[in-house]
Chain A
Amino acid sequence: MQFGVFTVGDVTVDPTNGREPTEAERIKAMVTIALKAEEVGLDVFATGEHHNPPFVPSSPTTMLGWIAARTERLLLSTATTLITTNDPVKIAEDYAMLQHLADGRVDLMMGRGNTGPVYPWFGQDIRNGIPLAIENYDLLRRLWREDVVDWKGKFRTPLQSFTSTPRPLDGVPPFVWHGSIRSPEIAEQAAYYGDGFFANHIFWPAEHTRRMVGLYRQRFEHYGHGSADQAIVGLGGQVFMRRNSQDAVREFRPYFDNAPVYGHGPSLEEFTAQTPLTVGSPQQVIDRTLGFRDYVGDYQRQLFLVDHAGLPLKTVLEQLDLLGEEVVPVLRKEFESLRPAHVPLAPTHASLLAAAGGGGDSTVHAVDDVTGRAPEAAR
Chain B
Amino acid sequence: MSVRTLAVVSAGLSQPSSTRLLADQLAAATRDELVRHGEQVELRPVELREHAHDIVNHLLTGFPSEPLRQVLDEVTGADGLIAVSPIFNASYNGLFKSFFDLVDADALGGRAVLLGATGGTARHSLALEHALRPMFTYLRAVVAPTAVFAAPEDWSGGAVDGALRARIDRAGRELADLVRRSAPSSGPADPFALTTSFDQLLHGRDA
Contacts and interface: CB of A to CB of B under 8 A. Distances in A.
B201 A184 contact: no
A130 interface: yes
Interface in B100-145: none
B193 to A, nearest CB: 7
Contacts of B196: 185, 188
B88 interface: no
Contacts of B61: 203, 261-262, 265-266, 271
Contact of B198 (A189, A205, A208): A189
A184 B63 contact: no
Contact of B194 (A135, A138, A188, A266): A188
A271 B58 CA distance: 11
A212 B192 contact: yes
A274 B194 contact: no
Given A203-B62, A265-B60, A265-B61, A182 B201 contact: no
Interface string B66-79: 10000000000000
A175 interface: no
Contacts of A270: 57, 65
B201 A134 contact: yes
A192 interface: yes
A184 B195 CA distance: 8
A314 interface: no
A182 B192 contact: yes
A50 B116 CA distance: 46
B191 interface: yes
By secondary structure, the B interface counts as loop
Count class of interface residues, chain B: 10 to 19
Given A185-B196, A212-B192, A264 B60 contact: yes
Interface residues of A, number: 29
By secondary structure, the A interface counts as helix
Contacts of A261: 61
Interface string A253-274: 0000000011011100011001
Nearest to A219: B194
B1 interface: no
A121 B61 CA distance: 26
A211 interface: yes
Interface string A185-217: 101110110000000000111001001100100
Nearest to B59: A265
Given A185-B194, A188-B194, A130 B60 contact: no
Interface of A: 130-131, 134-135, 138, 182, 184-185, 187-189, 191-192, 203-205, 208, 211-212, 215, 219, 261-262, 264-266, 270-271, 274
Interface of B: 56-57, 60-63, 65-66, 191-198, 201-202
9 contacts: A185-B196, A188-B198, A203-B62, A212-B192, A215-B194, A262-B61, A265-B57, A265-B60, A270-B65
